């Protein structure tokens, strides 16, 4: 279900596609073919792209901004799955088979998106074996990464999980600046607690300790700066 989305007229995001794991292998002609079937949308922060259970009608690519994916478990509790940065392509789940989305997607910041109708993209995959194999490769890499992260965080203490989370966010979203890593996506203590299965108080305590040690800076807009990237990245190696 879409909420108050707005069509935007933009140049086709060739640069974003060139950085996309899935679509980067497309030739100029293939990009032109996709352009003929692609649409652009702008969403304000907090608006829904789709909800879990909605018809799986579109594949999306983030052009600008950040998207948050959420999934509800059997007890009705919402948990966060991932944050997506520019050039991210989604959703992978349900390819060729599922009729509905298996999770929800929300604009975590203001976002510009490109979307392609499901019927067209799945037809393209059937015709373009190179693109299909590249998608399978991306899926395999993602599964291996998620298995490693799940095992690592399951066997860690609450405090270490929070530090690992910052390492994973740096790995997924971070931008290197003057020896530090900036996570240009606002992360609150509430969201960090949900992502790590800890309490808000525990997150606040760990964040305070990291700030005193001059390893972490929290900006007014809730963007994070990791002043000592090795301290965080070494916990997820």
CATH number at residue 105: 2.60.120.10
Helix (H, G, I), strand (E, B) or coil at 80: strand
Measure the CA dihedral 25/39/86/147, to 10°: -70
pLDDT at 76: 55
pLDDT at 226: 95
The answer to whether residue 1 is domain-embedded is no
Task: Indicate if 38 and 148 belong to the same structural domain.
Answer: yes
pLDDT at 106: 92
- Of 83, 118, 152, which residue constitutes the final position of a domain? 152
Task: Indicate if 66 and 24 belong to the same structural domain.
Answer: yes
Task: Indicate if 66 and 87 belong to the same structural domain.
Answer: yes
Using a cut of 0.75, tell me whether the model's pTM lies above it: yes
Residue-wise pLDDT tens digits, 92-147? 888 889 999 988 999 988 999 999 999 999 999 999 999 999 999 988 888 887 78
Residue-wise pLDDT tens digits, 7-59? 544 566 677 777 788 888 888 888 888 888 888 899 999 999 999 999 999 99
Task: Indicate if 56 and 133 belong to the same structural domain.
Answer: yes
| DSSP-derived pairing of the beta strands 78-84 and 67-72 | antiparallel
Q: What is the mean pLDDT of residues 77-91?
A: 78
Is residue 189 within 8 A of residue 207, CB to CB? The reply is yes
Task: Indicate if 126 and 178 belong to the same structural domain.
Answer: no
Task: Indicate if 42 and 110 belong to the same structural domain.
Answer: yes
Residue 222 has pLDDT above 90, yes or no: no
pLDDT at 2: 45
The answer to whether residue 64 is domain-embedded is yes
Range of the domain at 189: 156-233
């Amino acid at each position: 279900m879409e909420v108050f989305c707005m069509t935007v007229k933009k140049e086709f995001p060739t640069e974003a596609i060139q950085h996309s794991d899935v679509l980067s292998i497309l030739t100029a002609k293939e990009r032109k073919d996709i352009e003929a079937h692609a649409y652009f949308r702008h969403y304000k922060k907090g608006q829904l792209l789709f909800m879990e259970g909605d018809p799986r009608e579109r594949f999306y690519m983030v052009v600008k901004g950040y998207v948050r994916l959420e999934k509800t478990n059997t007890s009705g509790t919402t948990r966060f799955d991932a944050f997506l940065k520019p050039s991210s392509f989604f959703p992978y789940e349900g390819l060729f088979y599922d009729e509905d989305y298996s999770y929800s997607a929300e604009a975590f910041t203001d976002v510009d998106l490109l979307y392609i109708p499901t019927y067209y993209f799945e037809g393209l995959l059937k015709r373009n074996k190179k693109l299909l194999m590249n998608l399978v490769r991306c899926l395999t890499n993602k599964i291996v990464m998620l298995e490693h992260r799940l095992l690592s965080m399951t066997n860690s203490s609450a405090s270490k999980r929070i530090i690992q989370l910052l390492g994973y966010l740096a790995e997924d979203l971070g931008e290197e600046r003057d020896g530090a890593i900036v996570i240009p996506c606002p992360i609150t203590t509430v969201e960090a607690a949900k992502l790590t299965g800890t309490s808000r108080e525990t997150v606040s305590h760990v964040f305070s300790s990291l700030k005193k040690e001059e390893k972490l800076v929290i900006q007014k807009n809730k963007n994070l700066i990791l002043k000592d990237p090795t301290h965080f990245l070494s916990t997820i190696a």
